[in-house]
Chain A
Amino acid sequence: MEMDRESGKSEQIVSQFRSKILHVILDSRVPSFHHHHQQQESFSLSRVRKTDKWFNLVLGHRPAALENLNFSLRNLLDPVIIDIILVQHGSSSSSVDNICTPSAAAAGFTETVIERWVVQYDCPRVVATPSGADTSGLYKKTYRKSIILLRSVYAQMRLLPAYRIFRQLSSLSQTYNFDLVYKVSSFCHPFTREEEHVMKEYSFVPVEALSGLLCVSVTYRTSLSDFNLEPLVSLPPKIITDYVGSPTTDPMRSFPSSEKGVRATSFPLIGVRPPSSAPLQRPHSWSSGFHRGFPFAQNQSLAGSPPAYSTSPMTYDVASPPSDMYGNRIQNPRLSTLQQVTARDEYQLSPPFSPSPSPSPPTYLSGANPLLSHHRSETAPVTIPRPITGRSSRYLSPNSSDTSRHSLPPLSPRSSKHYASSQESPSGIRSYRKIEALRAGESPSGLSNHYSVHKVVRDSKDDSGRFSGLLSSSGSPRIGFSRSSSRLSFQDDMDDCEFSCPFDVDDVDVSDSLNQTSQNVEGKKASEFTAQAVPVGKKSQDAAVGILVQMLRTAPPLRQDPSCYSTHSIRTEYEGGIGTASGFFMPRKTADALEELKSYREMKDLLVSKSGTQVVRKEEM
């Protein structure tokens, strides 16, 4: 009875000792294990758990993985073999005795057992059963000695070489090209001779128990200098306060100024605090190489060395009966950090933002168009087509419905207001449609010669629609409605715009609209157009008028009747009456335009008179 009680207590001591020493070893060698422990401890500093009271050593929370291990190793007669494995990323170390599993080798990692702890309850087959008096209180001695043994193991773990790299990995300030993992099993492969040469064994004095001896031994590498254990170079994570974005982003977009310069990055990274104190200065760019830096997100993976390898099952993890082998590799979050890092790198290598689908609208379109307002105040309302910012392709190629209503290309939302305000002058819209019609196939004579300006005229056929060319000829910017700097800067983005300005219409996009507008032009009266002044800047206004004139000259006849000849004759007369073609394209004043209007009115009257009713009037006149 007494013997049974003693035996039971002895076995309980042995069992708890195995659990406790497993906790001590893993907590002192596996960073993720240690971090998990620290996290748990932060919430319960004063609490002493039941497990802590065993052997009077408070270690804190015991992870569930450990409980599972304990359960698997509940057979006291089976040894507990704990391998501490150094996993190194990349080329193998100079050491020749690396254990390289096929899966690890395929993944480019090298594994080396740097420590092996063996905890064994050595029970001889024939146990001399002590007398009852001798056994009384034996478990107390066993327990006391086990406490001392555990203290020794705890202290010695901090003196072995592996503890240094454990501390390095546990540090949150650096990431490394290696990692520490563990394997717990009931049996192990013996070391090779080469391995034994570089390793040293130390056996603790066994503790006598009722039925056997509790033995602990460690085989460890005396030096880890053979391994190329280096920290990974990483940029300290910082926050960019004036992040510009992709090159396609509107450079005119304002951003807060920062006297401290550019900082940081936008990664998740991680907790890691850069060791350097100086802020990282970086240009306003989004180069992919910029944001390497922050490796890990949490979990301790923050700390991390890059993940050793994929967490795919390895030979160690092959399920086996507990009695044969139980290999367990901690689902080390640090192990998966490589995957995390890889994924994060992929994410980081690409710009951390999505390029803006389209440039932001030019600033001059925001708010009231100063040019338009200016012209409203100065001239009669003749609408000049608004610049359109191509937010979407649909703006680039106006559909028939749009052109039926507006001769102008569809406008961006911002400019729609101004366009709406200009609905009062549909003639201006029609004029633009005529421009498009002209571009469809007819080449206005001389227009291209006069309005061709670098970067503006794309081909000869486009000249009629190239108000920008007209504008440029006068020295104004390509867009040309105003000479503000914003326009000038916006011009740089025009190439990226699907539709940059009203006068810079893509041939392809407009060709269809031109065909449509050409049909709509028929029946329209040019005089209605000419009745309107061009509400643009002075010089551009003149140029627009010139274009309108050209439109009229090349416009299809209004009617299939002698009026066509009259149109032609008007043109000829216009040419002869007013001046050479080149004269129309000279900078003209409003007075000149008014004179032209008068001439057009006369033409109109003439046409009407030919219808019969007004002949008499003329004769009368």
Chain B
Amino acid sequence: MNCEVCQLKELEVEHFEIREVLRCILHTIVFHRALGLVRPKDVDLELFEITYVQCGVVELEKKIDEKIEHFVSWVEKHPNKKSQICISFYEVKSKPPSWFSNKTERLFWEQWYVNLNVTQHPKPHSGKSHHTKVVVDPGESASEERGSRRVALEVSLREVMFQIIKFVNEKKDHVPPISEGVIYFPHEITVPSSSDSAFGMDMIKRMLQTGHPTMLS
């Protein structure tokens, strides 16, 4: 089985926008991969005029929020950096036990990479900055700039949503059969850990487990 990979469009977000953006994207992806009986739940973003759909499963919501918080913590320690959040869907296969592996293995059949560029822009009222000699009111220009960024981000986020829908529709054959009583496919969400090297190690570890090369398109 091939592992389909989707690299989503990079989004330039500010720190306070991370949670909303990630929730929107991750829940949309999972919703399309929750083929069990779901009661869809519409959620309106507060920062943008976008409505996304959740599965309505409380456990899933908690899991996603937890991963988002980990990512936010990492971003606070590594500001102004590009980062990725990966959500991978897999199948659990049993295999003969070996020396370095478990009895079960995960067969990843789909991976999504959410690319974020977290920027840290100066706040509107930074009159105390010694680098600038404020002549005209900086607040207005900063707020206008922020507003334009917000609009651009909303457009980009909407594009990402369409991208997800398009990908989901174009790639259906690799989706495994639905198990009885299972609402959504097992998946894991990978966020950068405290160091970049650790993030890279996670990727290598996944490769060893699955035996499939990570295709970066």
Taking Cβ atoms with an 8 Å cutoff, the residues of A that contact B are 48, 52-53, 56-58, 140, 144-145, 147-149, 151-152, 154-156, 158-159, 163-164, 167, 204-205, 207
Cβ-defined contact, B168 with A145, below 8 A: no
Closest to A156 in B: B165
Complex Cα–Cα for A204 and B169 (A): 7
Cβ-defined contact, B168 with A159, below 8 A: no
Other-chain contact of B53, A140, A144, A154 (Cβ < 8 Å):
A154
B11 adjacent to chain A (CB < 8 Å):
no
Other-chain contact of A205, B51, B53, B169, B177 (Cβ < 8 Å):
B169
List the one stretch of B2-10, B27-35, B129-137, B192-200 in contact with chain A: B27-35
B52 adjacent to chain A (CB < 8 Å):
yes
Contacts A58-B39, A154-B40, A154-B53 given: A148-B172 contact, CB under 8 Å?
Answer: yes
B40: chain A residues at CB < 8 Å are 57-58, 154
A57: chain B residues at CB < 8 Å are 37-38, 40
Cβ-defined contact, B158 with A159, below 8 A: yes
Complex Cα–Cα for A48 and B162 (A): 30
Closest to B43 in A: A158
Closest to B176 in A: A144
Complex Cα–Cα for A166 and B31 (A): 22
B42: chain A residues at CB < 8 Å are 158
Complex Cα–Cα for A48 and B36 (A): 13
A52: chain B residues at CB < 8 Å are 37
B50 adjacent to chain A (CB < 8 Å):
yes
Cβ-defined contact, A56 with B50, below 8 A: no
Complex Cα–Cα for A56 and B55 (A): 11
Complex Cα–Cα for A140 and B35 (A): 13
Complex Cα–Cα for A53 and B39 (A): 10
B49 adjacent to chain A (CB < 8 Å):
yes
Complex Cα–Cα for A48 and B32 (A): 20
Complex Cα–Cα for A159 and B164 (A): 12
Contacts A58-B38, A147-B35 given: A155-B170 contact, CB under 8 Å?
Answer: no
Cβ-defined contact, B52 with A158, below 8 A: yes
Complex Cα–Cα for A163 and B49 (A): 10
Complex Cα–Cα for A48 and B39 (A): 9
Other-chain contact of B37, A56, A163, A205 (Cβ < 8 Å):
A56
Distance in angstroms from A250 CB to nearest chain B CB is 54
Cβ-defined contact, B49 with A164, below 8 A: yes
Cβ-defined contact, B37 with A145, below 8 A: no
Closest to B44 in A: A167
Distance in angstroms from B68 CB to nearest chain A CB is 20
B178 adjacent to chain A (CB < 8 Å):
yes
Closest to A207 in B: B172
4 tightest Cβ-Cβ pairs between the two chains A and B = A58-B39, A205-B169, A158-B51, A56-B37
B161 adjacent to chain A (CB < 8 Å):
yes
Cβ-defined contact, B177 with A144, below 8 A: yes
Complex Cα–Cα for A313 and B115 (A): 53
Interface residues of B, dominant DSSP: mixed
Complex Cα–Cα for A53 and B169 (A): 21
Taking Cβ atoms with an 8 Å cutoff, the residues of B that contact A are 28, 31-32, 35-40, 42, 49-53, 158, 161-162, 164-165, 168-170, 172, 175, 177-178
A58: chain B residues at CB < 8 Å are 37-40
B31: chain A residues at CB < 8 Å are 151, 155
Cβ-defined contact, A152 with B169, below 8 A: yes
Distance in angstroms from B179 CB to nearest chain A CB is 12
Cβ-defined contact, A140 with B37, below 8 A: no
B35: chain A residues at CB < 8 Å are 56, 144, 147-148, 151
A204: chain B residues at CB < 8 Å are 169
B164: chain A residues at CB < 8 Å are 155
Distance in angstroms from A224 CB to nearest chain B CB is 13
Complex Cα–Cα for A155 and B175 (A): 19
B49: chain A residues at CB < 8 Å are 164
Complex Cα–Cα for A147 and B39 (A): 13
Cβ-defined contact, A205 with B165, below 8 A: no
Distance in angstroms from A57 CB to nearest chain B CB is 7
Other-chain contact of B161, A144, A148, A159, A205 (Cβ < 8 Å):
A159
Complex Cα–Cα for A164 and B40 (A): 18
B162: chain A residues at CB < 8 Å are 156, 159
27 A–B contacts from the bound complex (CB under 8 Å): A56-B38, A57-B40, A140-B177, A144-B175, A144-B177, A147-B35, A147-B178, A148-B168, A148-B169, A148-B172, A148-B175, A151-B32, A152-B32, A152-B169, A154-B53, A155-B28, A155-B52, A155-B53, A156-B162, A158-B42, A158-B50, A158-B52, A159-B51, A159-B161, A164-B49, A204-B169, A207-B172
Cβ-defined contact, A145 with B172, below 8 A: yes
B178: chain A residues at CB < 8 Å are 56, 144, 147
Other-chain contact of A158, B53, B168, B172, B177 (Cβ < 8 Å):
B53
Distance in angstroms from A504 CB to nearest chain B CB is 70
Complex Cα–Cα for A58 and B53 (A): 13
Add 18 more A-B contacts to A140-B177, A151-B35 (CB < 8 A): A56-B38, A57-B40, A58-B37, A58-B39, A58-B40, A144-B35, A144-B175, A147-B35, A147-B178, A148-B169, A152-B168, A155-B31, A156-B165, A158-B52, A158-B53, A159-B161, A159-B162, A205-B169
A156: chain B residues at CB < 8 Å are 162, 165
Complex Cα–Cα for A386 and B18 (A): 85
B53: chain A residues at CB < 8 Å are 154-155, 158
Complex Cα–Cα for A151 and B35 (A): 9
Complex Cα–Cα for A179 and B95 (A): 59
Cβ-defined contact, B36 with A56, below 8 A: yes
Cβ-defined contact, A205 with B38, below 8 A: no
Closest to B53 in A: A155
Cβ-defined contact, A53 with B161, below 8 A: no
Closest to B56 in A: A58
Complex Cα–Cα for A148 and B51 (A): 19
Complex Cα–Cα for A163 and B53 (A): 13
B50: chain A residues at CB < 8 Å are 158-159
Closest to B51 in A: A158
A140: chain B residues at CB < 8 Å are 177
**Max chain A Cβ within 10 angstroms of own Cβ: one of B40, B50, B177:** B40
Cβ-defined contact, A163 with B51, below 8 A: yes
Distance in angstroms from B187 CB to nearest chain A CB is 15
Complex Cα–Cα for A494 and B178 (A): 87
Complex Cα–Cα for A158 and B44 (A): 10
Distance in angstroms from A58 CB to nearest chain B CB is 4
Distance in angstroms from A309 CB to nearest chain B CB is 29
